[in-house]
Chain A
């Protein structure tokens, strides 16, 4: 052994590793600090009235985030309403019901959905989905569901509903992947016990498997929500980009990310970009809160699983 040499080697190596580790931690700190720095002028001049304002008119120095916040929450909520049943259904099919030869290829196809870039989804939504919604789907919705008050405007195709649909497609792979993993981790004994007392396949799933994997399923849904909230390009192309409070599912709207993408590059008034970064801070706060909730639920489920295995 050559203690002197290895000692220095160890020190240098450890120093480099510490630099890398510090960079990761620093990145998070800088991220928040940088956004605050960039948004500084807007925070200073607009204050909290920005978050409660309704209008966006840079020429008069009027900035309000309510329409974008509303649009973000509404589109993500609808996306989740569509994506959770489909994603969970697919996860149950892939773990409980599908024949073994079908599981891997179908699972990979669903994962492929996550690999398609969001700008491609946006382009597809603009060319394929929006005309379909305008000409075929939305007139039917207006005719038969008009009484609900949710479909009160003229169908345009580029609207909140179309954006929600695209978002649901993008949230599904996350929901399916995490639900599938947590369902697959349910101990066999749990299923066998239910089968032994005469439950049908579905009753095993419904009463023995899904409740056991519940927290993993919830975490998957929440992570899917996080993905939908921050999605930019796919929404930008199909939501119509209009600053207006929510009136109808088939009216144009905007979300916080689509607002930033729509305005940022062309912006020429001094306060507008800081205002957009301020919007970014609001979005970051929402998504981080949601992600932390999801990780917490997920870690609790793993703790529970570990305890059950022991």
Chain B
């Protein structure tokens, strides 16, 4: 390094601070713009009808036709159904694999292999997950290739690696002395894994599940491929085509009907709030855990 011209170097250093600060500001522009747009266009439709009514027929066609706003109760129900089903598939698998890797995979090579598998899965683009489960159902029964069940399976492919990874990390934070103490008291290993280490790691596990739900709830691409699109009231069975908030955004954005577009902005706002709530909730759970650990 050359250390001559101290003033120039000092000025340059401050200049670079300004430049990196500018980078942060530039990044904030799209964030602010997206949030502003979603709140601006989404909040006017967020009323009681939005949460309770079904999507209206395409309005404004004939003369004198009444155009009422309607609501997105069907996409909301569909999203809740998808969250429930995909959690049902992915949570036991992800948590089980993580417990196995940490408690039983003491030979580190195997534990690392499971971690690597989860990493590979987490790199799979969401639309590929949809293509995969669609092909799987095509093989099993083509009649239900476009279905809520299929879409939920596609979402669980995206959720498994997140749940596995976060559960693994949470279990690893439990000190080994706890395990040794439990085993020394003569508890069997499965009780130790389930009732001591797992319970200790539970807040971390819940955070992982919330993160996984937050990620999958906003996905539209895999639903489009594996779930099809049918926002019909009442909600169809799980072997029928699906409907969800992100799917309605997709449909509304492609639609010329201003009412459908307005509802789509409402869905976008609702989805953002849902995801935000998940992350706030997970932070809350983690904070409580931290406080408990400190013994307050």
- B-contacting residues of A (Cβ < 8 Å)? 1, 5-7, 9-10, 12-14, 16-21, 23-25, 27-28, 30-31, 34-35, 37-39, 85-87, 89-90, 92-94, 97-98, 106, 109-110, 112-113, 115-124, 126-128, 169, 172, 176, 197-203, 205-207, 226, 229-233, 237, 257, 260-261, 264-265, 276-277, 280, 283-284, 287-288, 290-292, 295
Contacting B34 at CB < 8 Å: which of A30, A34, A124, A295? A124
Q: A93-B20, A120-B218, A280-B128 are in contact. List 15 more A-B contacts (CB 8 A).
A: A21-B114, A24-B160, A30-B132, A38-B138, A92-B20, A93-B23, A109-B31, A110-B31, A117-B272, A119-B221, A123-B249, A172-B27, A203-B1, A233-B220, A261-B127
Closest to B271 in A: A117
Dominant secondary structure of chain B at its interface with chain A: helix
Are B160 and A115 in contact, with the CB atoms below 8 A? no
Q: How many A-B residue pairs have CB under 8 A?
A: 267
Closest CB-CB distance, B99 to chain A, in whole Å?
6
Taken residue by residue from 126 to 141, chain B's Cβ proximity to chain A (1 for < 8 Å, 0 otherwise) reads as 1111011111101100
Check A85 against B23 for contact (C-beta < 8 Å): yes
Closest to A10 in B: B190
Contact partner, B275, options A117, A122, A205, Cβ 8 Å: A117
With A and B bound together, what is the CA distance between A71 and B249 in angstroms? 25
Residues of B within 8 A of A (CB): 1, 3, 9-10, 12-13, 16-17, 19-24, 26-28, 30-31, 33-34, 37-38, 92-97, 99-101, 104, 114, 116-121, 123-129, 131-136, 138-139, 157, 160, 164, 186, 188-191, 193-194, 214, 217-221, 224-225, 228-229, 246, 249-250, 252-253, 264-265, 268, 271-272, 275-276, 279
Give the residues in chain A near B228, CB-CB below 8 Å.
Answer: 265
**Contact status A120-B34, CB under 8 Å:** yes
Could you tell me the distance between the alpha carbons of A20 and B91 in the complex, rounded to whole angstroms?
A: 10
Q: Tell me whether B34 and A229 are in contact (CB under 8 A).
A: no
Contact yes or no, B120 A230, CB < 8 A: no
Residues of A within 8 A of B1 (CB): 197, 199, 203, 207
Q: Quick one: which of A24, A117, A260 contacts B97, CB cutoff 8 A?
A: A24
A19 touches B96 (CB 8 A): yes
Contact check, B189 vs A10: say whether CB atoms are below 8 A apart: yes
A residues near B194, Cβ cutoff 8 Å: 13
Hey, which chain B residues are within 8 Å of A207, CB to CB? 1
Task: Supply 6 A–B pairs (Cβ within 8 Å), ascending by A.
Answer: A24-B118, A27-B157, A121-B34, A123-B253, A233-B246, A233-B250
Q: Are B229 and A6 in contact (CB under 8 A)?
A: no
Q: For residue A18, which residues in chain B have a CB less than 8 angstroms away from its CB?
A: 100
CB distance from A113 to the nearest CB of B (A): 5
Q: Which residue of B lies closest to A117 (CB)?
A: B218
List the A side residues contacting B95 at CB < 8 Å.
20
Nearest-CB residue, chain A, relative to B225: A264
Q: Are A118 and B218 in contact (CB under 8 A)?
A: yes
The CA of A117 and the CA of B218, in the complex, are separated in Å by 5
Residues of A with C-beta under 8 A to B3: 197-199
The answer on a CB contact under 8 Å between A122 and B97 is no
Do residues B249 and A287 form an inter-chain contact, with CB atoms below 8 A? no
CB-based contact B20/A257 at 8 Å? no
- 10 tightest A-B CB contacts, nearest first: A230-B125, A20-B96, A117-B218, A38-B135, A89-B23, A6-B188, A291-B123, A13-B190, A202-B13, A232-B221
CA distance A6 to B193 in the complex (A): 13
Pick the contact of A37: B133, B135, B224 (CB < 8 A). B135
Query: How far apart are the CA atoms of A166 and B114 in the complex, in Å?
Result: 33
B10 CB to closest chain A CB (Å) equals 6
Most buried by A among B94, B118, B128, B190: B128
Find the B residue at minimum CB distance from A229. Answer: B125
Asked if A28 and B250 make an inter-chain contact with CB atoms under 8 angstroms apart, the answer reads: no
List chain B residues, Cβ under 8 A from A202: 9, 12-13, 16-17
Which A residues touch B271, using CB under 8 A? 117, 120
- Residue of B at shortest CB range from A274? B135
CA distance A172 to B100 in the complex (A): 34
How far apart are the CA atoms of A93 and B21 in the complex, in Å? 6
* B249 touching A119, Cβ below 8 Å: yes
Shortest C-beta distance, B3 to chain A (Å), equals 5
One of A229, A237, A265 near B224 (C-beta < 8 A):
A265
Q: Which residue of chain A lies nearest to B275 when distances are taken between CB atoms in the complex?
A: A115
Chain B residues closer than 8 Å to A7, beta-carbon distance:
188
Residues of B within 8 Å of A176, CB to CB, are 27
User: Are B34 and A14 in contact (CB-based, < 8 A)?
Assistant: no
A17 to B193, CA, bound (A): 11
**Contact yes or no, B135 A277, CB < 8 A:** yes
Partner of B37, one of A127, A205, A230, A237: A127
Question: What residues of chain B lie closer than 8 Å to A201, measured between beta carbons?
Answer: 13, 17
Q: Which residues of B contact A23 (CB under 8 A)?
A: 93, 96-97
Complex Cα distance A94/B23, Å?
A: 11
